Structure 1
Amino acid sequence: MKKLKPIVLTTTALSMLPVMADSDENFVMANIDPDWRAECSECHIAYPPQLLSKQSWGAVMSNLSDHFGSDASLDDETTAKITAFLLDHAGRSRKQSEPVLRITETRWFKHEHDEVREVTWQKADGASNCAACHQGAEQFNYDEDFIKLPR
């Protein structure tokens, strides 16, 4: 039993490495859908699907003709493909009576950005402009080491 204990501890510790490497600040994106990347980054960065729940992505994708004041309509096939990608990679969340449509209104976002002052949001052209501060946002890197606040 004494010989088995170090092996079990080492195996357990090593199994945690992928979890630690994939922190809240970096989103591992395997099998990126090219339509999602192309269509969603035409007007803004392609936000990592993990930032919203399935319920929220379903609601966002169901009304692309009024996508936060813009018409982002797509053909049915592309819409279905992107929706499936977003739902497959959506983040987990507690049940909500109403889906949160804006990433900036999620509890996670508010917690992570609670120290950002209004003047910084103004200089960044709004809270939804992740790349204004997160230099690696387009590569899904939100690590604090890569933040540069606008002046």
Structure 2
Amino acid sequence: MSPLTARLLPALAALAGLCLLASPAQADSGSVMPRQILPAYQQECAACHLAYPPGMLPAQSWKRIMGGLDRHYGTDASLDEASVRQIGAWLQTHAGSYKRVSSEAPPQDRITRSPWFERKHRQLDPTIWKQAAVKSAANCMACHSGAEKGRFDDDELRFPAGLDARYRRNWDQD
């Protein structure tokens, strides 16, 4: 090994270690879905609804949600203890902690009741959530084509097929 290589090797190892430590924080830097989605989270949660990006709620909300799966918004979504621990730890690691998600949990730990969600959707007519093409505010995929990948950019909005045209003005204003 050359003397230069011997001097650079410790510095490169330290830099690689810093990159590994920084990767969870990257989930909070702009995208609310981590690059690597825990397969158990995708399998269990996406079986019934969108596997919501963990960055959409603070850690305390995810802790309560995972602790109450037997009464998960009116449904028994119980999992075995190992799955609860694994998914819960992943959600805690990737929970929202940046400017969009405050440390204060939204009412009932609902993403759709969070201040940032309400602010982003304030121009929508409230009746839009009840339309058959949308169904509820929790159905992100009705309008956000990148929702399954954690992308909610305004550039990727789509007007839901079957939604009454009178609501189209809301898409033009965003």
TM-score, structure 1 as length reference = 0.78
- Residue in 1 that maps onto 2:73: 68
- Residue in 1 that maps onto 2:137: 127
Q: Is the 8 A contact 1:103 1:109 kept in 2?
A: yes
Question: Match for 1:143: what amino acid?
Answer: D
What is the CA distance between 1:27 and its match in structure 2? Answer: 3.0
Question: Match for 1:35: what amino acid?
Answer: A
Q: Percent same amino acid at aligned positions?
A: 38
**Aligned in 2, Cα 1:28/1:95: closer, same or farther, shift over 3 Å?**
closer
Structure with the higher fraction of residues in helix conformation: 2
Question: Match for 2:88: what amino acid?
Answer: T
Runs of 4+ in 1 over 2 A off after TM superposition: 93-100
Q: Is the 8 A contact 1:49 1:89 kept in 2?
A: yes
Between structure 1 and structure 2, the one with the greater Rg is: 2
1:38 to 30, 35, 43: 43
TM-score, structure 2 as length reference = 0.68
Q: Distance in 2 between matches of 1:112 and 1:35?
A: 30
**Aligned in 2, Cα 1:136/1:73: closer, same or farther, shift over 3 Å?**
same
**Aligned in 2, Cα 1:85/1:67: closer, same or farther, shift over 3 Å?**
same
Once the two structures are superposed, residues 69-114 of structure 1 have per-residue CA deviations (whole angstroms, 9 ceiling, x without a partner) of 0000000000100000000000025453887511001111111111
1:51 to 40, 53, 56: 56
Q: Is the 8 A contact 1:55 1:99 kept in 2?
A: no
Query: Cα RMSD (Å) of the superposition?
Result: 2.0
* Higher RCO (CA-CA < 8 Å; seq separation 6+): 1
Gaps of 5+ in 1: 1-18
Q: Distance in 1 between matches of 2:53 and 2:46?
A: 11
- Residue in 1 that maps onto 2:154: 144
Gaps of 5+ in 2: 1-25, 164-174
